Amino acid sequence: MFGVGAFNVFLMFSVMKLVLITIFATTLAYAADAPITQDELVRRTQELYDAIVPGNQAPWKRYFADDCIFSDEKGRTLDKTKLIADITPLPAGYSGEIKIGNVQSRISGDAAVLSYDANETETIFGQNLTAR
């Protein structure tokens, strides 16, 4: 990897290691009296993806539990403080987005599983890349 925090996080999503962590983290902040829906899970997950490129830490702070454990493809295990610190804007010359598609979910009580394709596009110094 390139050693750039947000870029590492961006690539981390393309290998889909965040799916279950996202689901469990997004359910934690939901109002206890309002059952979570697939639409809400998708909205929150997309909000996390949309926050990567600009380095917007706010949704990551909001949706991840204070005692979360996050493991990435480089073998790092991060607590919430380290995970949030790793969310920084992509460097100059880098851009992209990740859009969720082919969504399915199973929600039972206070447990939810969200399955989706993460359709990624990146431009790195003019070179266009895509991944699913």
Q: What is the pLDDT of residues 73-115, one digit of tens each?
A: 789 999 999 999 999 999 999 999 999 999 999 999 889 999 9
* All residues at 6 or more sequence positions from 132 whose CB lies less than 8 Å from its CB, including other chains: 117, 118, 119, 120
* All residues at 6 or more sequence positions from 68 whose CB lies less than 8 Å from its CB, including other chains: 21, 25, 79, 80, 83
Is 5-131 assigned to CATH 3.10.450? Answer: yes
- Helical residues (DSSP H) of 1-132, grouped into ranges: 5-14, 19-28, 38-50, 58-63, 80-85
How many residues in total does the chain contain?
132
Least confident of 24-28, 59-63, 90-94: 24-28
With a cut of 60, say whether residue 66 has pLDDT above it: yes
Q: Any idea where the domains of the chain sit in the sequence?
A: 5-131
Residue 91's CB is within 10 A of a number of other CB atoms, namely: 13
With a cut of 90, say whether residue 33 has pLDDT above it: no
Selection from 73, 54, 56, 62 nearest residue 22 by Cα: 62
Place of tokens 């607590």: 79
d(CA 77, CA 34): 32
CB 108 within 8 A of CB 114: no
